[in-house]
Amino acid sequence: MIRMRVGMSLLGLSLVAAAPALAQMQAMPVYFSPKGGTGITIDGDFGRAASTKIAGLSAANHPTAIGGRAYLGLPFVTVGLGASIYDPKIVNVNNSTQFMGSAALKVFGGPLVPLAVSLQAGAGYLKAGSGTGASKTVSVPIGLGFALNVPTPGASLEPWVAGRLNLRSVSVGTSSASRIGPGISGGLSMGLPIGLGLHVGVDWSSFAAKTGATVISERSKLEQLTVGVGVHYMIKLPGLPGVPIVPGV
């Protein structure tokens, strides 16, 4: 009986070490900006998986990610691309580069309206490892975000919260498995008139166990809490809101 329990514990710990993170870009929150903004925004980000649980067991490692994002904001639509270096914090496992893209549609809000609402969808891709044992993870978050328009003289302040569904697909060699789970994130974005700002975020996501999945890591319940912080700089577009001036027109 003791040997069986030890064996099960070792199996669970091996799953904890092998399973990838759960967000769009692994080890980073899924950021929302329901207020939006017209211009080009460049972000520098750092994220960390504060807690990861697989089948109720807590992982000893806390993966991190550092990278950047760039967004083009128009009056009602914002599109973005990003990349980061993912460090799983596991001995003898190399860092990996991951990528993301997103699009957000403002469905409610304005400069004088205290509440902003946006619909956002995105996709993230991470390939970890090499050869036949390499794992590929595609994460697709789709959610609705809400933000308050806080009047602050000389600066902008955006507290926000968002709920979403996460679509996740993991493949290892010829095996693959897909799951859908809930997620919620929230944070605060602060900006100065010169365009420089700071943002922080917290993210929780979960996936129920998928019995019979051909990818071992997908057979157990996954749950993760991620935190992130970063700086951003926004370049305003000239002309009308979101419409640059074109000479000769």
pLDDT digits (tens, 9 = 90+) for 148-169: 988 788 788 999 999 999 999 9
Q: Tokens 């968002």 map to which residue?
A: 162
Q: Is 27 left (phi over 0), alpha (psi -120 to 50) or beta?
A: left
Q: Which domains does the chain have, with CATH numbers?
A: 2-235 (2.40.160.20)
Output the pLDDT for position 239: 53
Output the pLDDT for position 151: 78
The continuous run of DSSP H or E covering 8 comes out as helix 2-18
Distance CA 42, CA 31 (A): 14
Output the pLDDT for position 191: 92
pTM reported for the whole predicted model: 0.84
Output the pLDDT for position 11: 38
For 15-49, give one letter per residue: b (16+ CB within 10 A) or e: bbbbbbbbbbbbbbbbbbbbbbbbbebebebbbbb
Q: Cβ(13)–Cβ(57) under 8 Å?
A: yes
Low-confidence ranges of the chain (pLDDT < 70): 1-22, 239-249
